[in-house]
Amino acid sequence: MLPIYRQLIAAGLRIWVFSGDTDSVVPVTATRYSIDALNLSTVVNWYPWYENVGGWSQVYEGLTLVTVTGAGHEVPLHRPRQAFILFRSFLEGTPMPSKKQVM
């Protein structure tokens, strides 16, 4: 998957990778190690998104990693509200909210 990410980033596409922090199939640690292997420059360091900490986000050059607190492998099934915020942010081209926003 990493070579494909490299090609997509080189083509200028926005890449967002998300992971539930209780995912036992693809743990967040494995996702972070994989993204670290891309050696991308960090644009924004880890920060909690949403006031009640819906998860954490880190923005790299060409890629954004988002975790979702309390979600397993199927994030929208476990945390639909947080998944909605994540998908909305991606589609709008905005970063994950760093404080509570009214929907």
pLDDT at 59: 96
Residue 16 lies in a domain: yes
Closest CA to 48 of 101, 103, 100, 98: 98
Question: d(Cα 6, Cα 62) in Å, to the nearest integer?
Answer: 9
Closest CA to 2 of 39, 27, 53, 29: 39
Residue 101 lies in a domain: no
Q: Tell me the pLDDT of the chain (103 aa) as tens digits.
A: 899 999 999 999 999 999 999 999 999 999 999 999 999 999 999 998 886 788 999 999 999 999 999 999 999 999 999 999 999 999 999 999 987 554 4
Residue 4 lies in a domain: yes
| Cα 30 from chain centroid (whole Å) | 13
The boundaries of the domain holding residue 24 are 1-92
Residue at 40: amino acid letter: L
Instruction: Provide the CATH number for the domain around residue 53.
Output: 3.40.50.11320
Residue 48 lies in a domain: yes
